[in-house]
């Protein structure tokens, strides 16, 4: 078999693992997924690279040390971020994926039948702590959902001209703040800032009263470009290592006062949460679908042939304190996005901007066509005018202290799911 066939075999829907929990049709981490992350555990608090499979994590540092993983770099998994591994390039990511898929396949005895070896290289996910998967040199956030941009434009500007003329010509974006990207499970403190109340001439300083989520995905740059050398749209996907779920927490009242003329600043700098497992584009390949028709046809540098959207089902839940059960407040899909990841990356670099391994690119809030598929409370409650009812009583317009917001997402395969795990955060009260 050659490498192309071996890579194709990692996507075979009928492939099962000897790790039985990986064969659960509703689980996020079947043998077809194999997402990369950074973990530590009770027995070993050193951070290292792991791959999720069922309810287990494969310790790649231990696997390489045991001589079971052939990689052209010594000790590259005993690191506190994926960057050094990612920098080895796409052929190496693919080779590791192929080797892991073969080692974990039901018919492969190497690990399956060696209890001592299994004890060295497998860690129960329940005993592990997950960390930020990449060291992020830069974070950019786009605004690429037509439904979201239309809803926000209608609310804050003019329902008749909700989309600004530039929106359908380019993936609008802004430079976000990389230093405050945190991993799922990290509490988020409600921000203080300038609030402009409608009946007052000058702003007051205080805690945001309109704290919101933005349901997004993010992609991680796997191969950067040099300063002054743009990435062509047709080549852009080869520069992407994989995807995560991303919650671009947003303080709408701070945002509305500060965003003209240079865009959001403190409304979004306080925290961005990402899910801990990076799902590779290779694992997402079976879920590739056509993007929406783009009218007008984009300028030449934003054109690509073929299908460049991905069918990823997405949900948001809200758990109020002290409720036990979370309420699902939105269901949507990544495939609705107007601009593709490839177009975003081509546009990001067209003026000569360089990107680096580990850079994070947010999709923009992912809203679907129906009122229950909007990716923010701003839209779901129409700026607080239509409160949402929660499962165990009570309502919400915006987020209250103690609320826990969780994003989940998965691609539905034939008898299995390629899932992202959770992207969760609980809101702490503002500093007094």
Q: Where on the chain is the footprint of Mn ion (CB under 5 A)?
A: 141, 214, 248
Q: Which of 137, 113, 153, 307 is nearest to 220 (CA)?
A: 137
Give the nearer residue to Mn ion in terms of CB position, either 134 or 360: 360
Distance from C-alpha of 243 to C-alpha of 221, rounded to nearest angstrom: 9
Residues 6+ apart with CB under 8 A from 129: 39, 40, 41
Give the nearer residue to Mn ion in terms of CB position, either 264 or 419: 264
- Tell me: is residue 406 an annotated ligand-binding position: no
Answer yes or no: 148 catalytic.
yes
Distance from C-alpha of 154 to C-alpha of 152, rounded to nearest angstrom: 5
Catalytic residue among 131, 148, 239, 304: 148
Smallest distance from Mn ion to CB 330, Å: 15
Give the nearer residue to Mn ion in terms of CB position, either 15 or 252: 252
- Tell me: is residue 365 an annotated ligand-binding position: yes
Give the nearer residue to Mn ion in terms of CB position, either 83 or 376: 376
Query: How much of the chain is helix, strand and coil, in % rounded to 5?
Result: 25, 30, 45
Q: Are the CB atoms for 327 and 315 separated by under 8 Å?
A: no
Q: Is 110 helix (H, G, I), strand (E, B) or coil?
A: helix
Smallest distance from Mn ion to CB 64, Å: 37
Distance from C-alpha of 395 to C-alpha of 209, rounded to nearest angstrom: 15
Smallest distance from Mn ion to CB 250, Å: 7
- Tell me: is residue 332 an annotated ligand-binding position: no
Residue 93 structure tokens? 């990511």
Smallest distance from Mn ion to CB 364, Å: 5
- Tell me: is residue 268 an annotated ligand-binding position: yes
Alpha-carbon dihedral sign for residues 348, 349, 355, 357: positive
Smallest distance from Mn ion to CB 344, Å: 13
Smallest distance from Mn ion to CB 362, Å: 5
Give the nearer residue to Mn ion in terms of CB position, either 141 or 403: 141
Q: Which residue is nearest to Mn ion (CB)?
A: 248
Smallest distance from Mn ion to CB 241, Å: 21
Residue 412 structure tokens? 């539905």
- Tell me: is residue 395 an annotated ligand-binding position: no
- Tell me: is residue 79 an annotated ligand-binding position: no
Residue 140 structure tokens? 């950019």
412: β partners: 417
Distance from C-alpha of 270 to C-alpha of 189, rounded to nearest angstrom: 8
Give the nearer residue to Mn ion in terms of CB position, either 259 or 301: 259
Q: How many CB atoms lie within 10 A of CB 200?
A: 9
Distance from C-alpha of 431 to C-alpha of 206, rounded to nearest angstrom: 9
Distance from C-alpha of 154 to C-alpha of 367, rounded to nearest angstrom: 14
Smallest distance from Mn ion to CB 411, Å: 22
Give the nearer residue to Mn ion in terms of CB position, either 41 or 214: 214
Give the nearer residue to Mn ion in terms of CB position, either 214 or 253: 214
Q: Are the CB atoms for 147 and 155 separated by under 8 Å?
A: no
Q: Is 397 helix (H, G, I), strand (E, B) or coil?
A: coil
Start-end of H helices in 143-185:
146-156
Q: How many CB atoms lie within 10 A of CB 114?
A: 13
- Tell me: is residue 174 an annotated ligand-binding position: no
Per-residue DSSP letters for 40-61? EETTEEEEEEEEEETTEEEEHH
Q: How many CB atoms lie within 10 A of CB 280?
A: 24
Tell me the binding residues for Ca(2+).
141, 214, 216, 248
Tell me the binding residues.
141, 143, 157, 214, 216, 248, 255, 259, 268, 272, 365
Q: Which residues are catalytic?
A: 148
Tell me the binding residues for substrate.
143, 157, 255, 259, 365
């Amino acid at each position: 078999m050659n490498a192309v066939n071996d890579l194709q075999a990692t996507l075979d829907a009928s492939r099962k693992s000897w790790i039985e929990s990986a064969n659960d049709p509703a689980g996020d981490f079947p043998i077809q997924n194999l997402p990369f992350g950074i973990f530590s555990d009770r027995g070993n608090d050193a951070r290292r690279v792991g791959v999720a499979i069922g309810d287990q994590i494969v310790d790649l540092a231990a696997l390489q040390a045991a001589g079971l993983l052939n990689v052209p770099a010594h000790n590259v998994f005993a690191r506190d971020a994926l960057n050094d591994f990612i920098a080895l390039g796409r052929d190496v990511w693919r080779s590791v994926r192929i080797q892991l898929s073969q080692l974990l396949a039901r018919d492969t005895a190497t690990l399956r039948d060696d209890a001592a070896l299994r004890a060295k290289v497998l860690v129960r996910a329940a005993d592990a702590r997950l960390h930020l998967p990449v060291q992020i040199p830069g974070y950019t956030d786009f605004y690429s959902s037509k439904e979201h941009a239309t809803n926000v434009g209608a609310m804050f500007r003019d329902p008749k001209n909700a989309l600004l003329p530039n929106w359908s010509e380019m993936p609008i974006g802004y430079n976000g703040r990389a230093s405050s990207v945190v991993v799922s499970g990290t509490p988020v403190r409600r921000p203080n800032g300038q609030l402009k109340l409608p009946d007052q001439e000058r702003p007051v300083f205080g805690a945001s009263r309109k704290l919101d989520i933005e349901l997004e995905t993010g992609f991680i740059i796997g191969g950067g470009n040099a300063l002054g050398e743009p990435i062509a749209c047709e080549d852009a996907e080869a520069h992407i290592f994989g995807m995560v779920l991303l919650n671009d927490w947003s303080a709408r009242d701070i945002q509305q006062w500060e965003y003209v003329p240079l865009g959001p600043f403190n409304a979004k700098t306080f925290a961005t949460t990402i899910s801990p497992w990076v799902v590779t584009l290779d694992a997402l390949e079976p879920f590739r679908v056509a993007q929406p028709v783009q009218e007008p046809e984009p300028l030449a540098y934003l054109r690509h042939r073929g299908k460049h959207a991905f069918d990823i089902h997405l949900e948001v839940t809200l758990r109020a304190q002290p409720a036990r059960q979370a309420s699902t407040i939105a269901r949507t899909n990544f495939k609705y996005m107007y601009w593709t990841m490839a177009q975003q990356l081509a546009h990001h670099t067209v003026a000569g901007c360089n990107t680096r391994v580990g850079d994070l690119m947010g999709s923009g809030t992912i809203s679907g066509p129906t009122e229950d598929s909007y990716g923010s409370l701003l839209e779901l409650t129409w700026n607080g005018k239509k409160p949402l009812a929660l499962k165990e009583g009570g309502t919400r317009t915006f987020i209250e202290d103690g609320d826990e917001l969780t994003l989940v997402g998965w691609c539905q395969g034939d008898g299995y799911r390629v899932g992202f795990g959770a992207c969760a955060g609980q809101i702490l009260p503002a500093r007094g």
